[in-house]
Structure 1
Amino acid sequence: MKIFDAHSDVLYKMWMDPTIDFADSPKLHITYNQLKATGSKVQCFAIYIPEEVRPESRFETALEMVEIFYKRVIAPSPLLKAVRTKEDILALKENEIGAFLTLEGCDAIDQSIVKLQTLIRLGVSSVGLTWNYANFVADGIGEPRGGGLSSFGKEVVQEHNKALIWTDVSHLSIKGFWDVMEVADYPIASHSNAIAVCNHRRNLQDDQIRALIQKNGMIGITFVPQFLSNQGHASIDDVVKHLDYICSLGGENHVGFGSDFDGITETTFGLESFIGYDVLVNNLLKHYTETQVEKFLYHNFIEHLPCEINPCSN
């Protein structure tokens, strides 16, 4: 089955360690060889600027990760093609894999719409507004103040609307989430789970899940053990519990997966790397029909990509 994975931190790992070879490095949860072997059709690659990077260097760091994306991920991988739109993905040949560039947190753009526009022109097609803390756009979920979108933040979201790209609410404060629901045309939560199943601040409350569904958004269930289970360790069964719960709230057509591979140090049992998707698929088929599993793995995210030609052909 085809797989659309909505979040990974491969670029961050490769930026931290220039010796990493994307083809088959054992230091990575996701490699080119694993993508080819495991049915990947679209893999998202996030630009994440670590906290220790000084503010004046953050945009340059983002550009360095864009260069890694094109030079060290795409260029040496014959079947991997950079994609920006639904049309690009639907145009992929049978054995080709789409590589989708995203931004995790707007720290890199400071207070500059031009910097945001530049990253979008370089291929960024989904933008998370914050990591866990505050920036000029909004507060993250870890910021005690819990503020919402700034005036600049609303301008950023409106820029996403004009560019026909996703606004990602994962990591965002609760107030920021609701502000986004008022402004964004294309909201998603690329890597967030259900707080009713696992009580972690990064997970979504029931009313947030319902709001994303009503706004025709998407939720990517993530494989971070701490977001899956209150026990601190997790298995594929816990992934299924979150999927079941989101579906019970009406989310069957609005849920997929955003692994957070290479952004985590601990992994879920059975999902230690991208190869684990094979095990997940077999488990899902015990609970859902083949058509439903295909939606969760791929079609739901594809259906919710903004489209220049309306309607897009499938």
Structure 2
Amino acid sequence: MTIFDAHCDVLSKLLEHPQLDFGHEQDLLDVTLERMQKSGIGFQNFAVYLPEKYAGEFRYVLESIDLFHEKVLASGPIHFIRSKEDLEYAEKNGLTGALLSLEGVDALQGNLAYVRILHHLGVRSIGITWNYANWAADGVMESRRAGLTEKGRQLIQECNRLGMILDVSHLSEKAFWELLSLSAKPLIASHSNAGKICPRRRNLSDEQIGSIIRADGVIGVTFVPPFVHAEEPVTMDRLLAHIDHICSLGGRRHIGLGSDFDGIREKIVGLEHAGKYHDLVNLLQKHYSEEDVEGFICGNWYRFYLKHLPAAT
């Protein structure tokens, strides 16, 4: 079965350690081409996330995109997904597809021209914040828990105009609801779990999950152990409670995967890197129908992106 993973942080590791080899399995990277091929990862979304020492400087966003081309795309038969046609071409020809996203708009410095530049460069989704506040909004860990700024509202409008997909993972709850009311496009949560199952601020409330479902968005169940279960060690079967709960809210066709590999230090037992997806698929097949499993691991994300990516120009 093909895997579609909506979020990994390989590019931030490559930015800090450009000598790393993405093509071959190694301990320093969770996601490599070799591991993707081993697990049958057909589509991987690569997030541009700037570590703190690079935050706020747009040139490092551009350097991250350069690394995507020079390290990721150049490592083997990987097809850059920028349009519906790219997505279909990769699927029909059995190619590994790679998408680009931005996690946190800090480095855009409130300049909407930078948003347009990123769209020209193939970035197709944007997470407005990481955990804390920036010029556009408050993140989920910001103590004041405010919403969008005026500049943030302008960002939403421009993303809608461009067709840029908006990602609510890491966003404060107030900003979440403001974004939902402002955006004319469906939202995604690329890497978030159910707060009812594991009460963490980074996880989504039932009301948030329901609103994403009603808006025809997708939620990427994430592998970050503290967002899966409160007590360690965290095993793969703990993910099932989150999937069951989202399904109970009507989300069977709105569940995907968003590992957050290479953005996490702790790992789920048996799911330590991208080469171990087979065990997760086997576990899912014991509890859900083949149709549901195909939707969770690939189909739901694929349908969403096929609908919302731009047509080729």
TM-score normalised to structure 2 length: 0.95
Alignment pair present for 1:208 and 2:202: no
- Is 2:22 the counterpart of 1:22? yes
CA distance in 2, matches of 1:23, 1:53: 25
Contact 2:46 2:101 in 1 (8 A): yes
2:91 equivalent to 1:98: no
* Corresponding residue for residue 33 of structure 1: 34
The farther-off stretch of 155-164 and 248-257 is 155-164
Partner residue, 2:157: 158
Distance 1:191 1:308 in 2: 23
Q: 228-237 vs 285-294, which deviates more?
A: 228-237
CA contact (8 A) 1:86 1:302 kept: no
Q: Counterparts of 2:130 and 2:299 in 1: how far apart (Å)?
A: 27
Unaligned runs of 5+ in 2: none
Letter in 2 for 1:29: D
Q: For residue 6 of structure 1, give the secondary structure of its aligned residue in structure 2.
A: strand
1:239 alignment partner, SS class: helix
Query: Residue 53 of structure 2 corresponds to which residue in structure 1?
Result: 52
Q: CA deviation at 1:117?
A: 1.0
What are the equivalent positions in structure 2 for 1:114-153 lying under 5 Å apart? Answer: 114-153=113-152
Structure 1 counterpart of 2:188: 188
In the TM superposition, residue 94 of structure 1 has moved relative to its aligned partner by 3.2
What TM-score, normalized by structure 1, do the two folds share?
0.95
* 1:179 paired residue number: 178
User: Structure 2 vs 1, CA of residues 127 and 135 (structure 1 numbering), >3 Å: closer, same or farther?
Assistant: same
Aligned positions of 1:165-314 closer than 5 A: 165-184=164-183, 185-305=185-305, 306-308=308-310
Q: Percent identity?
A: 43
Question: Conserved in 2, the CA contact under 8 Å of 1:49 and 1:107?
Answer: no
Specify the code of the residue in structure 1 equivalent to 2:86: D
The offset of 1:4, in angstroms, is 0.7
Deviations along 1:124-144, one digit per CA (max 9) or x if unpaired, are 111000000111110000111
Aligned mates of 1:294, 1:215 — CA distance in 2 = 21
> 1:69 is matched with which residue?
68
Deviations 1:81-118 (A, max 9, x none): 11113331111143311100000000110110001111
Amino acid aligned to 1:60 = R
CA distance in 2, matches of 1:274, 1:62: 24
SS at match of 1:125: strand
**For the Cα contact (< 8 Å) 1:226–1:233, is it kept in 2?**
no
Asked if 1 retains the 8 angstrom alpha-carbon contact of 2:169 and 2:191, the reply is: yes
Segments of 5+ residues of structure 1 without an aligned counterpart are: 310-314
Q: State the shift of 1:174 in Å.
A: 0.4
3-state DSSP class of the match of 1:7? strand
Structure 2 equivalent of residue 312 of structure 1: none
1:308: Cα distance to partner? 4.3
* Alpha-carbon shift at residue 34 of structure 1 (Å): 1.0
Q: Specify the SS of the correspondent of 2:79.
A: strand
Aligned partners of 2:151 and 2:252: how far apart in 1? 34
The one-letter amino acid paired with 1:83 is I
Residue of structure 1 in register with 2:110 after alignment: 111
- What is the distance in 2 between the residues matched to 1:234 and 1:158? 40
Q: 2: CA distance between counterparts of 1:190 and 1:243?
A: 14
**Which structure has the highest helix share of the two?**
2
**Cα-to-partner distance string for 1:122-169 (whole Å, 9 max, x where unaligned):** 111110000001111100001111111112111112222122221000
Matched to 1:197, the amino acid is I
Alpha-carbon distance, 1:304 to partner: 1.5
Does the 8 Å CA contact 2:124/2:309 hold for their aligned counterparts?
Answer: no
Separation of aligned partners in 1, 2:42 and 2:84: 12
8 Å contact 1:5–1:257 — kept in the other structure? yes
Which stretch of structure 1 is more off in the superposition, 193-202 or 92-101?
Answer: 92-101
- Quote the Cα distance in structure 1 between the aligned partners of 2:96 and 2:6: 14
Pairwise CA distance, 1:302: 1.5
What amino acid does structure 2 have at the position aligned with 1:198?
Answer: C
Q: Report deviation, 1:307.
A: 4.5
Contact 2:221 2:243 in 1 (8 A): yes
1:82 corresponds to: 80
Aligned residue pairs, count? 306
